[in-house]
């Protein structure tokens, strides 16, 4: 998953208490079940705030998968050989599948896919900031697989044990399929770094452009992440943004070094004491600008999604009309 | 209206001969043939199955979790339905 | 080695099972093992699969629903896989270190042997489905027979492909029926799509001298054998779709010997850009 803390402003909110109108005995029983690592299923009683938070989180995750098809999709027709073409098409198709699984999981909470898609298209719903950057060269495809899927996996693996059953099961499927995404990206990067000077230049340039946006994928720093505590208690979030970001940096830096890529961060240094890397300050102004919809290709991404949906309307209607005719004929 | 989407179907896959169909997720589709096609294209892309079922989600009748007590509790004390309820001497074989 | 997600042995086995290197490898073409006409036949079928796969992949991320997006990508993947085997076979027979990629990315329009139908632009979903329906029905009938080819490698590729293409045909037919007998708008679009593609149908059944040679050798299938069956099958689906079979148009030929529509050059410009721009690079 991608962070779902995509509020437009870095504001500090108090943790909202569970709606007072709810029966305290039900709330208590619910909290006890979650605390006992039980799964909550669609028809079980749940606090409204839990339902709302989940719909928001799962649908944002789904939107990210679907919008995320676009930057990589941009290179399918230009993949440099048949093997890479098949890999990329299969990979982007997988992301579509992930979006589908997640929309279905969210639908069990009583919100239709149609409503979620409309919220995305109207700009009301958010998706991961990372997909608002353009893919300029083939190396961007390598960088996305390696860094972006790498960051996503870091978030997704713990969610296989999230408290909401349908979400957890969707994540099990997603994680199984993800296992090749990051590897194919890193492998493509290895080939570039073992290639011609032009290929190396492409690779380093992609690294320079995708590194910081990848770190932003984990969301705002913990002190600006107001709902973390409650989400952790509800097991719809399993580790904090900063913990995951640190983990990602620690794992990824040696991978970059191994193939001769430079991480574009002067402040990057191994910290023996904490057993991890210190790294530079993230440009949060940039992050919030992109959240506000001001990413370099935000308009292109939204237009592509709206076009696909609007131009597909007649197809969806036609199939329904056909089914209605068949049913009418069968009834007659 | 451009917002319109197809109805939801639940998808069940038999992973291999001898196993039951198992719920794997859902798809949207306009009718039953398309639901099968969509199920195939969504849930069996990695050799996951040998047989598919699709059922319109609306057609599934689910038990009410609030009634989980009355529905499932009566089975709790019928321990005589379980083989371990009966004590048979170890010397007696094949039983 | 820095840690990346591990793959389970089970998954690796599956990947290997899907990797078609095993297809007909007992008889994989080597330099000099096939004559010109046989190589041309490999190219013809390989180019059909490659170009149609490329067209389908253009839909990725832009289809009417996510489910349809996945279906189109699946067909595209099947076809790119088939192209890899067929062009690999042609390249092996041509020798001189060629491989499937050399043929896919380093030939120009005049050397592509695909039929004109598959290179037609996607346009709307109806035209894409018209193309898929008309081509897959032919493709399915062809591969079913080609599985008995005297060329063992070709027969193995066909035997694997026929299962994939049976599904393409079924899915495309189902869509033609739904769009043809859906709304007024969808019926109009479907009829327009068919009308666009119809002039390219005769090319599928055209037999030139090269093709005749491989037919005579028992390597290729004579498409005229199943033309009547094809016409019947098309008419049956169109009847179910409440669409009329288009009037025959003047046949447009040329693809099989390199004389294409204007569209192929643009498709190749996109598809071949990277290997052309960086001829020394490996990816
Ligand atoms: Fe994904
Ligand atoms: Fe992925
Ligand atoms: Fe069908």
Nearest C-alpha neighbor of A227 from the set A49, A59, A108, A61: A49
Instruction: Provide the whole-model pTM.
Output: 0.93
Can you give the pLDDT at residue C13?
53
Output the CA–CA distances (angstroms, integers) from residue C24 to C29, C49, C52, C101, in the order listed.
10, 18, 23, 19
DSSP secondary-structure letter at B53?
A: E
- Which residues 284-323 on chain A approach chain C with CB closer than 8 angstroms? 304, 307-309, 311-322
Instruction: Give phi and psi for C275, each to the nearest 5.
Output: -60, -25
Contacts of C171 in chain B (CB under 8 A): 37
User: A276-278 and B21-28 as β-strands: parallel, antiparallel, unpaired?
Assistant: unpaired
Q: Dump pLDDT digits (tens) for A233-250.
A: 999 888 899 999 999 999
Domains and CATH numbers, chain C: 30-273 (1.20.1260.10)
Which residues touch B69 (CB under 8 Å, ≥6 apart)?
none
* Distance (Å, whole) CA C251 – CA C270: 28
3-state secondary structure of A24: helix
State whether B27 and A100 contact (CB < 8 Å): yes
C: neighbours with 3+ CB pairs under 8 Å?
A, B
Q: Give the ligand whose atoms come closest to the C-alpha of residue A151.
A: 2
Q: Is B50 inside a domain boundary? A: yes
Q: What is the CA radius of gyration of chain B?
A: 21
* Distance (Å, whole) CA A30 – CA A23: 11
* Distance (Å, whole) CA C67 – CA B42: 7
Q: Dump pLDDT digits (tens) for A278-319.
A: 999 999 999 999 999 999 999 999 999 999 999 999 999 999
DSSP secondary-structure letter at A166?
A: H
Contacts of C173 in chain B (CB under 8 A): none
- Tokens 């969301």 identify what position? A219
Question: Most distant CA pair in chain C: distance in Å?
Answer: 64
Instruction: Give phi and psi for B51, each to the nearest 5.
Output: -155, 145
Instruction: Give phi and psi for B17, each to the nearest 5.
Output: -50, 140
Which contacts of C265-268 are long-range, i.e. CB under 8 A and separated by 24 or more positions? C265/C109, C267/C51, C267/C54, C267/C55, C267/C119, C268/C108, C268/C109, C268/C112
Q: Is B44 inside a domain boundary? A: yes
Q: Enter the tokens of residue C77.
A: 């993947």
Confidence of residue A16 (pLDDT cuts 50, 70, 90): very low
Q: Enter the tokens of residue C122.
A: 């996607």
* Distance (Å, whole) CA C10 – CA C18: 13
Contacts of A113 in chain B (CB under 8 A): 5, 28
* Distance (Å, whole) CA C16 – CA A213: 35
3-state percent breakdown (helix, strand, coil) of chain B, nearest 5: 35, 20, 45
DSSP secondary-structure letter at A291?
A: I
Q: Is B34 inside a domain boundary? A: yes
Nearest C-alpha neighbor of B6 from the set C11, A273, C183, A323: A323
Can you give the pLDDT at residue C20?
44
> Which domain covers residue B56, as residue numbers?
3-60
Contacts of B30 in chain C (CB under 8 A): 178
Q: How far, in Å, from the CA of B57 to the mean position of ligand 3?
A: 20
Q: What CA dihedral angle connects A98, A99, A100 and A104, to 10 degrees?
A: 100
The answer, yes or no, to whether residue A10 has pLDDT greater than 50, is no
Can you give the pLDDT at residue C9?
52
3-state secondary structure of B22: strand
Q: Is A301 exposed, middle or buried (0-12, 13-18, 19+ CB in 10 A)?
A: buried
Q: How far, in Å, from the CA of C197 to the mean position of ligand 3?
A: 22
Q: How far, in Å, from the CA of A181 to the mean position of ligand 2?
A: 5
The Cβ of residue C213 has, within 10 Å, a number of other Cβ atoms equal to 17
Q: Dump pLDDT digits (tens) for A158-217.
A: 999 999 999 999 999 999 998 899 999 999 999 999 999 999 999 999 999 999 999 999
Instruction: Give phi and psi for B25, each to the nearest 5.
Output: 155, -160
Question: Most distant CA pair in chain A: distance in Å?
Answer: 79
Mutate which of C54, C56, C66 to test chain A, going by most A C-beta atoms within 10 A? C66
Nearest to A196 among C66, C73, C281 (CB): C281
Stated length of chain B:
95
* Distance (Å, whole) CA A124 – CA C195: 42
For each of chain B's 95 residues, which pLDDT tens digit applies? 455 789 999 999 999 999 999 999 999 999 999 999 999 999 998 888 899 999 999 999 988 877 777 667 667 777 777 777 788 888 888 77
Q: Give the ligand whose atoms come closest to the C-alpha of residue B33.
A: 3
Contacts of B45 in chain C (CB under 8 A): 70, 74
State whether B2 and A313 contact (CB < 8 Å): yes
Nearest C-alpha neighbor of C94 from the set C81, C108, C107: C107
Q: Is B95 inside a domain boundary? A: no
Which residues touch C214 (CB under 8 Å, ≥6 apart)?
C37, C38, C40, C41, C220
DSSP secondary-structure letter at B21?
A: E
Q: Give the ligand whose atoms come closest to the C-alpha of residue C166.
A: 3
Question: What stretches of A262-325 adopt beta strand conformation (E)?
Answer: 269-271, 276-278
Confidence of residue A64 (pLDDT cuts 50, 70, 90): very high
* Distance (Å, whole) CA A3 – CA C68: 28
Q: Is B81 inside a domain boundary? A: no
The answer, yes or no, to whether residue A252 has pLDDT greater than 90, is yes
Instruction: Give phi and psi for B12, each to the nearest 5.
Output: -125, 135
Measured in angstroms, the CA of C279 and the nearest CA of chain B are apart by: 34
Report the run of H or E that residue B54 belongs to, with start and end.
strand B51-56
* B52/C contact by beta carbon, under 8 A: no
Report the run of H or E that residue A14 belongs to, with start and end.
none
Among left, alpha and beta (phi > 0; psi -120 to 50; other), residue C258 is: left
The answer, yes or no, to whether residue A228 has pLDDT greater than 90, is no
Can you give the pLDDT at residue C233?
98
Nearest C-alpha neighbor of A151 from the set A267, A264, A239: A239
Can you give the pLDDT at residue B63?
86
- Pair C275, A84: CB distance under 8 Å: no
Q: Is B40 inside a domain boundary? A: yes
Q: How far, in Å, from the CA of B35 to the mean position of ligand 3?
A: 10
Number of domains in chain B: 1
**Cα torsion A226, A232, A235, A239: sign:** positive
The answer, yes or no, to whether residue A105 has pLDDT greater than 80, is yes
Q: For chain C, which ranges sit under pLDDT 50?
A: 1, 15-21
Which CATH number belongs to the domain containing residue B16 in this structure?
3.10.20.520
Query: Which value does ipTM take for this structure?
Result: 0.94
Q: How far, in Å, from the CA of C60 to the mean position of ligand 2?
A: 15
Can you give the pLDDT at residue C17?
47
CA angle, residues A157, A158, A163, in degrees to nearest 5? 125
């Amino acid at each position: 998953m991608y962070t779902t803390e995509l509020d437009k402003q870095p504001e500090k909110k108090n943790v909202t208490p569970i709606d007072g109108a709810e029966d305290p005995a039900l709330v208590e029983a619910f909290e006890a079940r979650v605390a006992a690592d039980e799964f909550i299923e669609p028809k079980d009683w749940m606090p409204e705030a839990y339902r709302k938070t989940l719909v928001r989180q799962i649908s944002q995750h789904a939107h990210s998968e679907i919008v995320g098809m676009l930057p990589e999709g941009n290179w399918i027709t230009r993949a440099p050989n048949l093997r890479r073409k098949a890999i990329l098409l299969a990979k982007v198709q997988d992301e579509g599948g992930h979006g589908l699984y997640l929309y279905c999981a969210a639908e069990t909470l009583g919100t239709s896919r149609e409503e979620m898609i409309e919220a995305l298209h109207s700009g009301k719903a958010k998706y991961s900031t990372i997909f608002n950057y353009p893919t300029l060269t083939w190396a961007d495809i390598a960088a996305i697989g390696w860094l972006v899927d790498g960051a996503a996996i870091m978030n997704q693996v713990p969610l296989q044990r999230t408290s909401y059953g349908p979400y957890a099961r969707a994540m099990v499927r997603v994680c199984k399929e993800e296992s090749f995404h990051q590897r194919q990206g890193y492998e493509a990067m290895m080939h570039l770094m073992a290639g011609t000077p032009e290929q190396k230049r492409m690779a380093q340039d992609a690294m320079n452009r995708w590194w910081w946006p990848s770190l932003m994928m984990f969301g705002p720093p913990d002190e600006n992440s107001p709902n973390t505590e409650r989400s952790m208690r509800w097991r719809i979030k399993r580790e904090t943004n900063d913990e995951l970001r640190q983990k990602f940096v620690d794992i990824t830096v040696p991978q970059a070094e191994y193939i001769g890529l430079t991480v574009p961060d002067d402040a990057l240094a191994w910290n023996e004491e904490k057993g991890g890397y210190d790294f530079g300050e993230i440009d949060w102004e940039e992050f919030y600008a992109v959240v506000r919809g001001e990413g370099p290709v935000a308009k292109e991404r939204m237009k592509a999604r709206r076009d696909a949906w609007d131009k597909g309307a007649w197809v969806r209607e036609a199939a329904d009309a056909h089914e209605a005719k068949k049913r009418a004929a069968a009834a007659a | 209206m451009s917002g319109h989407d197809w109805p939801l179907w639940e998808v069940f896959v038999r992973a291999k001969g001898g196993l039951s169909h198992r719920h794997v997720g859902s798809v949207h589709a306009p009718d039953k043939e398309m639901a099968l096609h969509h199920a195939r294209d969504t849930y069996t892309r990695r050799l996951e199955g040998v047989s598919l079922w699709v059922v319109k989600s609306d057609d599934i009748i689910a038990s009410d979790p609030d009634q989980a007590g009355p529905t499932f509790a009566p089975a709790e004390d019928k321990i005589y339905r379980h083989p371990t309820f009966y004590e048979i001497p170890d010397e007696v074989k094949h039983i | 080695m820095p840690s990346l997600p591990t793959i389970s042995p089970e998954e690796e086995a599956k990947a290997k099972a899907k990797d078609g290197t095993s297809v007909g490898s007992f008889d994989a073409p080597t330099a000099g093992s096939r004559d010109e006409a046989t190589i041309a036949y490999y190219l013809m079928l390989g180019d059909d699969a490659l170009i149609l796969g490329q067209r389908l992949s253009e839909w990725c991320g832009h289809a009417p629903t996510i489910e349809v997006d996945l279906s189109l990508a699946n067909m595209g993947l099947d076809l790119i896989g088939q192209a890899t085997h067929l062009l690999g076979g042609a390249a092996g027979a041509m020798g001189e270190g060629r491989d499937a990629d050399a043929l896919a990315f380093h030939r120009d329009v005049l050397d592509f042997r695909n039929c004109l139908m598959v290179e037609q632009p996607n346009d709307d979903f109806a035209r894409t489905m018209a193309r898929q329906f008309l081509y897959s029905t032919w493709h399915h009938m062809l591969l079913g027979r080609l599985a008995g080819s005297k060329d063992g490698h070709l027969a193995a590729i066909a035997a694997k492909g026929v299962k994939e293409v049976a599904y393409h045909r079924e899915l495309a037919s189902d869509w033609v029926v739904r769009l043809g007998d859906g709304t007024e708008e969808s019926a109009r679009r479907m009829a327009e799509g068919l009308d666009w593609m119809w002039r390219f149908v005769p090319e599928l059944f055209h037999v030139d001298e090269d093709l005749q040679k491989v037919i005579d050798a028992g390597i290729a299938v004579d498409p005229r054998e199943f033309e009547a069956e094809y016409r019947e099958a098309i008419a049956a689906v169109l009847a179910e779709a409440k669409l009329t079979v288009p009037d025959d148009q003047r046949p447009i030929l040329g693809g099989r010997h390199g004389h294409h529509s204007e569209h192929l050059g643009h498709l190749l410009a996109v598809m071949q850009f990277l290997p052309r721009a960086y001829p020394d690079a490996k990816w």
